[in-house]
Amino acid sequence: MAVSDAIQTARQLRSQGRIRESFELVRDTIGSEQPALLWQHQPLFWDSLVGGNCILTRRRGSDAAFIQALWQDSAFVQQFNRTAANIPQDHTVLERILNSEYASLVGDLSSLHWIVRDNQQTPWGILSLTNISVAHRRAEVLLGVMDGAPFGLATAAMFVLFGFFFRTLQFHKLYTLTFDDNPHSLKCVLHLGFSIEMVQAGLLADEAFSTRNTRLMRRLNFN
């Protein structure tokens, strides 16, 4: 079988949940000729991650209803990712998108997304790695859990991720971005060992043309 055909068939197998078969097909087709590509097909990217009272499962089409419920909770979206794009309201469309995401390789989307569950498999939130750079072995982490989640679930989710990210993948750097109006989030990540590395300043259109800046422009002979 040609490599391109094997890659396409492997994707179809993953969409059916046949992860190990997908990996074995690619392994038997390309062998050690393309180690980076073979690495991306490793089942570990689809395995559930477990630690403490937390189970992380890869997000997929069957989670569509839960994702829609989360996106209807403005407080959750604000906590998880206030710049998150809207999601399709049509359940079937969202299900198809999530299944496509599930079947994709980490290099296709530069991201990985898990559902955060408790020991009874009840879903409570999302944990994501975005802007994944395989070359630099780093990524951004986003975490959001609903109010009422079991005690320590969010912290456990981060510790589970630490094991996967630093030990299993052997990546080097995990980072997160927080807004200055969310001191609780900053306090939590600092408590987990993150350190402040830079300060990012932001400017909105109204602030760019504030009264103070307008006076400065006049002094500099702006029309």
Per-residue pLDDT reduced to its tens digit, 54-73: 999 999 999 999 999 999 99
Query: pLDDT tens across 152-180, in order?
Result: 999 999 999 999 999 999 999 999 988 87
Instruction: Quote the domain boundaries for residue 23.
Output: 1-46
Q: Are residues 206 and 102 in the same domain?
A: yes
SS3 142: strand
Q: What is the pLDDT of residue 203?
A: 86
Strands 173-175 and 138-145: parallel
Query: pLDDT tens across 47-58, in order?
Result: 999 999 999 999
Q: Are residues 90 and 198 in the same domain?
A: yes
Q: What is the pLDDT of residue 59?
A: 98
Q: HSE of 160 in the Cβ direction (CA atoms, 13 Å)?
A: 26
Give mean pLDDT, residues 180-199.
84
Other C-beta atoms closer than 10 Å to the C-beta of 211 total 7
Other C-beta atoms closer than 10 Å to the C-beta of 132 total 19
Cβ neighbours for 9, distance < 8 A, ≥ 6 positions apart: 1, 25
Instruction: Give the relative orientation of helices 19-30 and 3-15 as an angle to the nearest 10 degrees.
Output: 170
- Write the CA distances from 23 to 7, 174, 182, integer angstroms: 10, 27, 42
Percent of the chain with pLDDT over 90: 73
Q: Are residues 113 and 76 in the same domain?
A: yes
Q: What is the CATH number of the domain that holds 94?
A: 3.40.630.30
Query: pLDDT tens across 200-211, in order?
Result: 888 888 888 899
Q: Are residues 35 and 56 in the same domain?
A: no
Give mean pLDDT, residues 75-84.
89
Q: Are residues 145 and 109 in the same domain?
A: yes
Instruction: Give the relative orientation of helices 74-81 and 64-71 as an angle to the nearest 10 degrees.
Output: 100
Q: Are residues 124 and 199 in the same domain?
A: yes
Q: What does the chain come to in residues?
A: 223
Where are any strands of DSSP class E within the chain? 49-51, 54-58, 112-117, 123-133, 138-145, 173-175
Q: Are residues 196 and 166 in the same domain?
A: yes
Q: Are residues 80 and 139 in the same domain?
A: yes
pLDDT at residue 223 tops 80: no
| CA nearest neighbour of 160 among 20, 48, 76, 59 | 48
Where are any strands of DSSP class E within 23-176? 49-51, 54-58, 112-117, 123-133, 138-145, 173-175
Give mean pLDDT, residues 125-138.
97
Q: Are residues 93 and 59 in the same domain?
A: yes
Q: Are residues 15 and 105 in the same domain?
A: no
| CA nearest neighbour of 144 among 133, 154, 136, 155 | 154
Query: pLDDT tens across 26-41, in order?
Result: 999 998 889 999 999 9
SS3 55: strand
Q: Are residues 184 and 155 in the same domain?
A: yes
Q: Are residues 18 and 83 in the same domain?
A: no
Q: What is the pLDDT of residue 208?
A: 87
pLDDT at residue 181 tops 90: no
Q: What is the pLDDT of residue 201?
A: 81
CA distance 223 to 47: 61
Please give the torsion angle defined by the CA atoms of residues 143, 148, 153 and 154, in that order, rounded to the nearest 10 degrees.
20
Better-scored residue on pLDDT, 139 or 1: 139
Please give the mean pLDDT across all residues of the chain. Answer: 93
pLDDT at residue 98 tops 80: yes
CA distance 122 to 175: 27
Q: Number of folded domains in the chain?
A: 2
